[in-house]
Structure 1
């Protein structure tokens, strides 16, 4: 079976740059932990298939599948209080904070699709 090369390509990047803005209560004060997540772009068919195959997949697992890196992350720290570099364990730690996985997923889905031009 011969696979033909795609006839068309999209004029958008394969990796999304997703701005995630969160606040967490720490010591009675709301602290901002904004970061940029780099994630693989999925097309509509892939999003639909992923959700159907995984059923009630936790959003943290979905984010772990698409995430490729981050920048400006200051929530997950090393022992010396420096921001942790992106890796699967550091991402899992970030997403373990209640609400962070959901907000990250929502930011990804917001930036994945088209929006109406004002």
Structure 2
């Protein structure tokens, strides 16, 4: 099977995790992000610059949209910078989204 020399400049991926509710029980979540697909050199530069750039700011720079994020009433929340920042007030959320991006932005070895 061949590969095209250029692939889509965006990548969609699922962000999955869990948090503990007020009773200490894990609550699983997942939502979909669509982000700009950085090329290898740009991605490496961003990773090397992590000490100077907050993960939330990095993710805001590449995010194009999302699905599966809801408010307390169960209504879909439209993507915006303000909404993403609000979601990232949950400790670990920006890191979880960043790690998911790193895992999905490039190619993977197939066994």
Quote the residue 2:101 is aligned against.
Answer: 108
**Which whole-Å CA distance do the structure 2 matches of 1:110 and 1:53 have between them?**
18
- Could you list the structure 1 runs, at least 4 aligned residues long, displaced by more than 6 angstroms after superposition: none
Report the number of matched residues: 107
Normalising by structure 1, we get a TM-score of 0.79
What secondary structure sits across from 1:47 in the alignment? helix
Kindly provide the CA deviation profile for residues 44-91 of structure 1, in whole angstroms up to 9, marking residues without a partner as x.
1111233445643221111111111001123xx27x552311111001
What secondary structure sits across from 1:61 in the alignment? helix
| Bigger radius of gyration among the two | 1
**Which whole-Å CA distance do the structure 2 matches of 1:48 and 1:112 have between them?**
12
Give the unaligned 5+ runs of structure 1.
1-7
Quote the residue 1:5 is aligned against.
Answer: none
Give the unaligned 5+ runs of structure 2.
none
Aligned counterpart in structure 1 of residue 56 of structure 2, from 60, 65, 73: 60
Kindly provide the CA deviation profile for residues 24-59 of structure 1, in whole angstroms up to 9, marking residues without a partner as x.
112223212200000000001111233445643221
What secondary structure sits across from 1:92 in the alignment? helix
What secondary structure sits across from 1:116 in the alignment? coil
Summarize the Cα distance change of 1:30–1:54 in structure 2 as closer, same or farther, 3 Å threshold: closer
| Aligned alpha-carbon RMSD (Å) | 2.0
Normalising by structure 2, we get a TM-score of 0.84
